[in-house]
Amino acid sequence: MSSLEQIGEFGFIEKLRELHGSPAHGATGIGDDCAILPFGDSTVLVSTDAFAENVHFRRDWATPYQIGRKAASAALSDIAAMGGEPRFVLASVALPGDVSEEDALSIMQGVAQSAESVGASLVGGDTTRSESGLMLDVTVLGVAPCGRVLKRSGARKGDMLLITGTPGRSRAGLIALERGLDMPTVIEAHLNPASRMVQGKWFLANPHVRAMMDVSDGIAQDAGHLARASGLGVGMTSASVAIDPELLPICMEIDTSIPELVFAGGEDYELAVVVDPAESPKIIDAFRREFNLPIYAIGTFTDQFEGVRIDGAEPGPIGFDHFRPAT
């Protein structure tokens, strides 16, 4: 019998997929950012995300409000990742005895505020005592406008991979918190990741956009998920990574390069967007004009190999996996 460490988080999910088989009622189950559920004429998107103390957050680095807000924002990001419209949120919380009533309410206010900021409402949840650590689980429900969604599996050979915003900042913020460094911009990116809900819907409306996901485990790993779901490989280059000056002090601090930090860094909740290569420059221009946000091409999909290559080589185990031992 193999250990979870050996098979990794994604090996485990693959086993679950085999175990559960195809879902009934025309649903699309395990494997994308959300499950896709047909209900009459509507397509409902649903996803759930667990947030565990000392794994996803530390109570000495984030306020209760920030913890709740980020848990909900991370969960809602999976609706953005498919171009959906968020509607409802349910949040379960397991509370250790040392959490005050005021702090417990603040956590839930953070959840509700994050939901409201994207037009969704908190409609329920569950509350329990915890014997070891605070834990939150946020379930999000949304709808797919016109029934169309952007799955991970839509990439075709030759398609370009684009990445929105400023990836790498969340990881930089985490390192700043670990080392007690005063770097407010990257710490804010870690504690309060930006929502890309509006952008997700904007991509869905463009017929030249073929696949999408949100980047929660680092670009190297998540680009691999897009490639595998599409039966392709993806080649990326370090030279295409934008030089974000906010990352420079952290790169010097931990003696790494900006591309290394960006490829490995998780919890950015930026969008990884797969587009028709002929339309890529137009989409990039239009996105910059519409949102005044960075976006750049970072790779190309191919049928020449499987998985991920960065500058022509396999990157090895970088990015976040819950069961991989820390390096």
Instruction: Report how many residues bind Mg ion under the rule CB under 5 A.
Output: 4
Q: Is 268 in the site for ligand ADP (CB under 6 A)?
A: no
Contacts of 304 (CB under 8 A, 6+ apart): 233
Residue 31 binding target from Mg ion, ligand ADP, none, CB below 5 to 8 Å by type: ligand ADP
List the one residue from 36, 57, 67, 78 that touches Mg ion (CB under 5 A): 78
Please give the structure tokens belonging to residue 49: 């995300």
User: Could you give the CA distance from residue 262 to residue 79 in angstroms, rounded to a whole number?
Assistant: 23
Kindly report the backbone phi and psi dihedral angles of residue 2, in degrees, each rounded to the nearest multiple of 5, phi listed first.
Answer: -90, 155
Distance of CA 311 to the CA centre of its chain: 24
Name the token pair of 1.
């019998």
Q: Which stretch binds Mg ion (CB under 5 A): 24-32, 79-87, 108-116, 167-175?
A: 79-87
Q: Give kind and range of the element (H or E) at residue 124.
A: strand 121-129
Instruction: Classify 153 in phi/psi space as left (phi over 0), alpha (psi -120 to 50) or beta.
Output: alpha
31 binds ligand ADP (CB under 6 A): yes
Ranges assigned E (strand) in 169-294: 209-215, 233-236, 270-275
Assess 206 for contact with ligand ADP (CB under 6 A).
Answer: no
The answer to whether 270 contacts ligand ADP (rule: CB under 6 A) is: no
- Of residues 32, 159, 214, 267, which one binds Mg ion by CB under 5 A? 214
- For position 32 contacting ligand ADP by CB under 6 A, the verdict is yes
78 binds ligand ADP (CB under 6 A): yes
Does the protein bind ligand ADP through residue 4 (CB under 6 A)?
Answer: no
Residue indicated by tokens 């039966």: 231
Name which of Mg ion, ligand ADP, none residue 149 binds, using a CB cut-off of 5 to 8 Å depending on partner kind. Answer: none
Nearby residues of 274 by Cβ (< 8 Å), 6 or more positions away: 154, 155, 159, 160, 161, 162, 209, 210, 211, 212, 226, 230, 301
Using CB under 6 A, which of the segments 24-32, 197-205, 235-243, 260-268 binds ligand ADP?
A: 24-32
268 sits near Mg ion (criterion: CB under 5 A): no
Q: How far is the CB of 30 from ligand ADP (least distance, A)?
A: 4
DSSP secondary structure code for residue 325 in this structure? P
List the one residue from 28, 37, 49, 183 that touches ligand ADP (CB under 6 A).
49
Q: State the CB neighbour count (10 A cutoff) for residue 100.
A: 10
Give the separation between CA 178 and CA 161, rounded to whole angstroms: 32
Is 50 a binding residue for ligand ADP by CB under 6 A? The answer is no
**Shortest Cβ 31–ligand ADP spacing (Å):** 5
- Is residue 85 within the footprint of ligand ADP (CB under 6 A)? no
7, 8, 27, 30: which one binds ligand ADP (CB under 6 A): 30
278 binds ligand ADP (CB under 6 A): no
Q: Which is nearer to Mg ion, 75 or 258 (CB)?
A: 75
How many Cα neighbours within 13 Å face the side chain of 126? 10
13's contact among ligand ADP, Mg ion, none, with CB below 5 to 8 A by partner kind, is ligand ADP
163: buried, middle or exposed (CB in 10 Å: 19+, 13-18, 0-12)?
buried
Q: Binding residues for Mg ion, per CB under 5 A? A: 33, 78, 81, 214
Q: Binding residues for ligand ADP, per CB under 6 A? A: 13, 16, 30-33, 49, 78, 216
